[in-house]
Amino acid sequence: MNKPWINLAFYIFVIIARFPRIKERWVAPLLRGPDWFFDAALPPDFWKGAGTALLRNYRWRLFIPWGIEGAVLLTLWTASRLNGLSIALLILVIALYTRFNYYAARMAAENRARAFEPPDAIQTATNVALSLEPRTLWNYTNWWVEAAIALLFGAAALWMAFYPATDPLVPRKFIGFLIVSIYIQVGLLLVKLGIVRSSSIAPADNVEQYLAWRDSLRRFAIRMCDLSRVMFALYPLLLLSVITGGSVRLAAAIAFGILFIAVLIYEWQTRLKHLEVARRTKPARFPLLPAARNVRGLLGFWPSLPVLLLRTANGYALNLAAAPVRIAGVYFAGLACLCVWLAH
């Protein structure tokens, strides 16, 4: 099997890995049963009228990234540019776009469904409750995960130290790769911090169930973030096995494949547990903040508000003054500088 076919096989593997997520998004509007469309309560005749078209449109929109991805993939294949880097970039860009597309499709469909909602179906909660439990990164740290990451990096560094390199450039390049990997770990840790700090209020008449759902969502997102960190920490070892070649490469590829499948199964099972909690939780509607009442666009600058996403009448607006935006800016600028420095 030559290299383009290996790349294509890897790509097909990644596509198969996405199926559980596609299924989840496909059924997401009906998660709470036929009386709901996402968080919008439905009138009895909704599915006889506009509901079917609304659901069909939402589902069609989910396939837009697939169409784009297919076209790009075909172009890369015909131009013989289907290599490891182009595949990695395509997966990253499409993954981000798919997520954005899902939220946009969901928001648009949900807003349209709300027009059919009976007037008193969901009251806006004016009495809200918040938990007084401090949420810190420390409280949400799984020390087994941290130990595994440290061990993986340590093992990669040790392997490199005793690796009999024939090409003097290999150790230097690998050290660069290791530095970038550690930088990515820092980035993922910042994402985890953002998840820990994500806002959490509940309607006062359904506090415990609602906050349990928020906590389930937070813990699920943190688990996925930790899993990503472990998988990224594996890459230096995988790269070393590729450089070493021979039976080590084959063994590493098989081990990584098995681990990847195990992670996917774990992810799906954890997701199902979380979805069960979400299914049982009655949605709540909270009043808009005064700053959000007249917001129309997707971006804004509200230095006095410590929120990243401001809920508006039509969806959400990104608060460019929020600390995570500044941190992300500095982080990506640092990543660019690091890559330029390592390239030289």
Partner 1 sequence: MFLSIDINDRRAIYRQIADGIKALIAGGQLREGQSLPAVRQVAADLGVNLNTIAAAYRDLQSEGLIIVKRGLGATVASRNKAQQGAKHSEDELRRPLRTALTELVLAGMPRGQILDLVSDELRSLLKGTKS
Site residues (vs partner 1, CB under 8 A): 126-136, 197-202, 204, 207, 211, 287, 289, 304-307, 310-311
Q: Closest approach of Cβ 306 to partner 1, in Å?
A: 5
Residue 98 or 216: which CB sits closer to partner 1?
Answer: 216
Q: Closest approach of Cβ 62 to partner 1, in Å?
A: 30
Q: Closest approach of Cβ 171 to partner 1, in Å?
A: 41
Q: Closest approach of Cβ 269 to partner 1, in Å?
A: 30
Residue 52 or 123: which CB sits closer to partner 1?
Answer: 123
Residue 306 or 329: which CB sits closer to partner 1?
Answer: 306
Backbone phi, then psi, for 43, in 5-degree steps?
-75, 160
* H or E element that contains 41: strand 40-41
Cα Rg of the chain (Å, integer):
23
Residue 184 or 321: which CB sits closer to partner 1?
Answer: 321
Burial profile 97-136: b = 16 or more Cβ within 10 angstroms, e = fewer:
ebeebbeebbebbbebbbebbeeeebeebeeebeeeeeee
Sheet holding 299-300, edge to edge: 299-300, 316-319, 309-311
Q: What 3-state class would DSSP assign to 83?
A: coil
Residue 37 or 210: which CB sits closer to partner 1?
Answer: 210
Q: Closest approach of Cβ 323 to partner 1, in Å?
A: 9
Residue 25 or 197: which CB sits closer to partner 1?
Answer: 197
Of 27, 122, 127, 106, the residue nearest 315 (C-alpha): 106
Q: What 3-state class would DSSP assign to 299?
A: strand
* H or E element that contains 308: none
What is the DSSP code (8-state) at residue 245? -
| DSSP codes joined into one string, 200-215 | -EEEGGGHHHHHHHHH
Q: Closest approach of Cβ 176 to partner 1, in Å?
A: 35
